[in-house]
Structure 1
């Protein structure tokens, strides 16, 4: 005689998908918490992050802190090339505009150009690297030869050429920097893609019917994202320096205020020969500070994501 079993409770439709989604969210939260815990151990990275947070807050609050009229040449509150004083802590430019206000307002353009140009550069490099590493053969050969050509040619010279032949605007500078600085990322991502696709679970995914798109998006991309993230952070500082160089050469947008444009204005005003150090020092130090902060953050992220780079404690 067999005992009757109680009927099992029906599984509500969609519960399996919901539990899988909640498990994925829990794993992402745990991964983010683990990343932040390891990042806090990097003192240099914390210093860079704090500096970037301060500059970002100043850039976002520029309309409230200094107002948009600080860029006006006709309504300048001071006289030309005043030395630092209580009224103008950093002095004035050749038009009588306060350099402190211009420095705060210029952070918006410099950070925007750096972020967007680095994102464009890394996106192009990551796409080229993943495709070349995945497909291989003649396609990889063509992509790598193009990459080598861009590596041989100086990126700054190519950016100057593009900025010269195109209209002078912020978007031209972003495009010029983005399309000339991607080869390093492409080579790194290609090497990482080849290493990932040599692992056994990639063969199992293909045996189960996974196509090219599934392998690249579900398996390769998540494994190269840490490298892409670190490369993006490091590339922002390079993009900011390149934007400052283009603006200093007079190839930036003359209608906006940026740190490189301030240096170019100081050169035109003869600040170097006349000894007006307060015109040159603030934008130069701001560029160096932000570039250093992004570099420190990038190195810290790279150390956290790659345990081999960490120093044993």
Structure 2
């Protein structure tokens, strides 16, 4: 037998899922995201990893700058590597970096926002001054400097994006916590002797979790675009294929002047479609969390 509390939570979750699926933008975004996620997970089945190796591609007889009509399905690049293999395996890195960096961003931002908003006082002042410092410093130059100093690897890129992207989340969460902690059920818990950890766990976090989830889905496209930008600037992992690295190679090998559209168009469209899908999902979740946004 489930408790009444569990039944209410289950009914609430079901209601949110039904409302989300009825929203056309959210439904389209979710379907697109599932397709790209399935492609990234099934990369070993969809594209042979040997297509990423220039030596193996040469042995296989792949032409240089081969068009899709001569080397199915997306042609080859200047090193005779399969563009399809780079696109499929690159989706893994781009999505993984975007999701992992968002986890770091949301974790740090939530921790700072909840701590500053709930405890207030001098601690709030110190944390907000640190947050404002990160907001004042230009985001992209700071990310470029950190990526250059730390080195070119996937984990360093995740760390750089996470460390430089959390301030907006912290301010958003802090504002919500300041509102929630003034409500009567929080005062009632304090009067009954509840500890700060209990209040944060049972009252504060459940009331800000919807906002955090909506903000997370909107932070993923920013992380993906940042990874693409850093890889395009040559600061990504040189040993791993990613959509940003494909655009970097296409730019420096003059794929546009060669009219090799099959090299730069797939990663560009992939980034555009995935970012749009996450944005649609995030906007739908924001409307579910605050129905007043649906009228705008």
User: CA offset at residue 25 of structure 1?
Assistant: 3.2
Higher helix share: 2
For structure 1, the residue ranges without an aligned partner over 5 or more in a row are 1-18
Aligned position for 1:220: 204
Whole-angstrom CA distance in 2 between matches of 1:301 and 1:70: 39
Deviation at 1:28, TM superposition (A): 2.8
- CA displacement at 1:159 relative to structure 2: 1.2
Note the C-alpha offset of 1:208: 0.4
Could you report, residue by residue, the CA deviation over 1:10-40 in whole angstroms, capped at 9, with x for unpaired residues?
A: xxxxxxxxx5x54343233212210111112
Task: Give me the whole-angstrom Cα distance separating, in 2, the residues matched to 1:47 and 1:202.
Answer: 39
Shift of 1:86: 5.9
Task: Establish whether residue 206 from structure 1 lines up as the match of residue 187 from structure 2.
Answer: no
The corresponding residue for 1:91 is 75
The separation in 2 between residues aligned to 1:123 and 1:300, in whole angstroms, is: 22
Would you say how many aligned residue pairs link Structure 1 and Structure 2?
293
Within 5 Å, which residues of 2 pair with 1:264-279?
264-279=248-263
1:1-313 alignment, distance < 5 Å: 22-76=3-57, 77=60, 78-85=62-69, 87-311=71-295
Higher-Rg member (1/2): 1
Q: Distance in 2 between matches of 1:65 and 1:282?
A: 16
Give me the whole-angstrom Cα distance separating, in 1, the residues matched to 2:146 and 2:5.
44
Runs of 4+ in 1 over 4 A off after TM superposition: none
Q: TM-score, normalised by structure 1?
A: 0.90
SS of 1:40's equivalent in the other structure is: helix
Cα RMSD for the two superposed structures: 1.4
For residues 176-203 of structure 1, the C-alpha deviation after alignment (integer angstroms, 9 at most, x for no partner) is 0000000100000000000001111111
Structure 2: gaps (5+ residues): none
Encode CA deviations 1:252-297: one digit per residue, 9 max, x unaligned: 0000000001111111212133332221111111111100000001
- TM-score of the aligned structures, taking structure 2 as reference length: 0.95
Kept in 1: contact 2:52–2:82 (CA 8 A): no
CA distance in 2, matches of 1:297, 1:308: 17
Shift of the alpha carbon at 1:93? Answer: 1.0
Secondary structure of 2:224's aligned partner: helix
